[in-house]
Structure 1
Amino acid sequence: MAFDFKKEYRDLYRPKTTPSVVQVPPMCFLAVEGEGDPNQQDGAYQHALSLLYAVAYTLKMSYKTDYAIDGFYEYVVPPLEGFWWQPGVAGVDPTDKASFRWLSVIRVPEFITEADFTWAKAEAQRKKKLDCSPVQLIEIDEGLCVQCMHVGPYDDEPATAEAMHRFAAEAGYVPDFTDARRHHEIYLSDPRKADPAKMKTVVRHPVRPV
């Protein structure tokens, strides 16, 4: 059976609908950075996702090609994630989507090397006729965070974030947004198919002890 990150790391991908504090370990991701309204049809965000998925699935299906990845095992492509920020804003303001800056990412297994990534980018570019040069392979070390499963539309996330911050304050933590620590979302529902009221999104914010 293919390895499924969501099932193996439930503390990271399946938190409760009540806030909790979590220590997030360093992880490797495919990443594309950009800016602008993610809802813009055929915009930069949608294009970034097409690049991410092209490279992610090229890596996943590599075992069916002549390219051999050392230590490879079959796995389910992890969910799309996003780090979001805006100039001068702690966290995010969903009412001003045009000012969004974002880093869209998909996790990759630890056995993926820079050489594997370079091969996958070139292969995806050849097969999909896409310029995959914006895709990066990066490590993100989030560290100490407060998180919660948000159920509902993305625009309702501020209420969840407020509950997270209240919980964190009661537990002796304060938000710790920096240029390296951002508002983080993990998308467990497909917005093209899901009922907005039932969409599940992990919301995660960096914190530090008071």
Structure 2
Amino acid sequence: MDKYDVRKQFKELYAPRARDFELVTVPPMEYLMLDGQGNPGTAPAYAAALEALYSVSYAVKFASKHAGRDYAVGPLEGLWTADDPDAFTRGDKDSWKWTMMIPQPDWIGAAEVQDGIAKAVAKNAPALDLLRLEALDEGLSLQILHIGSYADEAPTLHRLHTEFMPANGFGFAGPHHEIYLSDARRVAPDKLKTILRQPVRRL
């Protein structure tokens, strides 16, 4: 049996170009999610969220493999908001709100996640009580591949928000979405690959 990989199953969603914004239609997808607030570089809640997500995702994956359906754990993704949108441009990271998440195959349900949480509890993973399985339906979205540090995303997002979207008749239809294709612990900042996605609606 072929090993399922969300990045191959939905290649058009996980392999955009770095030069131009692309319009895609994102189907409803299931994610393990965990909400929080604060500077992702320093907030203990952020580190705890990632540990919980990965602990449960891998526990669920290995159980599914043992049952005969193997898959690659999907990339880390994040939804980002702030009460004051200018908090992103001025770098007020302590006020950032985030939902960190990892996509799950469609055959993974609540029972499998609860089993995964139980295994993670046995290993003392944190923040497990905040974890949930939830569908996200973004639909029509614009996206682009950003190569470089997270701190250097601002010009691309400014161009998307103030030039491309108004010029092409698009409005906002959901929070800013980032998909992390690189492991920041192992890849130099200038080599990081991140998909920047913005759900949109036609005006």
Aligned equivalent of 2:166? 169
Report the Cα offset of residue 90 of structure 1. 7.1
Aligned equivalent of 2:178? 185
Contiguous gaps of at least 5 residues in structure 2: none
* Distance in 2 of aligned mates of 1:100 and 1:209: 27
2:195 to 191, 195, 202: 202
After superposition, residues 1-210 of structure 1 pair within 5 angstroms as: 1-17=2-18, 18-40=20-42, 43-63=44-64, 68=67, 73-89=69-85, 92-93=88-89, 95-126=91-122, 128-131=123-126, 132-165=128-161, 166-176=163-173, 181-210=174-203
Report the Cα offset of residue 163 of structure 1. 2.9
CA contact (8 A) 1:32 1:103 kept: yes
Distance 1:94 1:120, change over 3 A: farther
TM-score (norm 2): 0.91
* Distance in 2 of aligned mates of 1:139 and 1:104: 13
Equivalent position amino acid for 1:123 in 2: K
CA contact (8 A) 1:91 1:183 kept: no
Equivalent position amino acid for 1:118 in 2: Q
Helix, strand or coil for the counterpart of 1:61? helix
Equivalent position amino acid for 1:27 in 2: M
Query: How many residues are aligned here?
Result: 199
CA contact (8 A) 1:30 1:108 kept: yes
Equivalent position amino acid for 2:31 in 1: F
Report the Cα offset of residue 168 of structure 1. 2.8
Farther off after superposition, 84-93 or 191-200: 84-93
* Distance in 1 of aligned mates of 2:78 and 2:112: 23
Helix, strand or coil for the counterpart of 1:186? strand
Report the Cα offset of residue 80 of structure 1. 0.1
Name the one with the larger helix percent. Answer: 2
CA contact (8 A) 1:148 1:164 kept: no
Equivalent position amino acid for 2:53 in 1: L
TM-score (norm 1): 0.88
Q: Kindly, what percent of the aligned residue pairs are identical? A: 38
Report the Cα offset of residue 120 of structure 1. 1.2
* Distance in 1 of aligned mates of 2:106 and 2:24: 21
* Distance in 1 of aligned mates of 2:86 and 2:201: 15
* Distance in 2 of aligned mates of 1:39 and 1:45: 8
Report the Cα offset of residue 40 of structure 1. 0.5
Report the Cα offset of residue 94 of structure 1. 6.1
CA contact (8 A) 2:87 2:95 kept: no
What do the CA deviations read for 1:161-187 (whole angstroms, capped 9, x no partner)? Answer: 1233323333321233xxxx2111000
Aligned-residue CA RMSD in angstroms? Answer: 1.8
Helix, strand or coil for the counterpart of 1:184? strand
CA contact (8 A) 2:6 2:105 kept: no
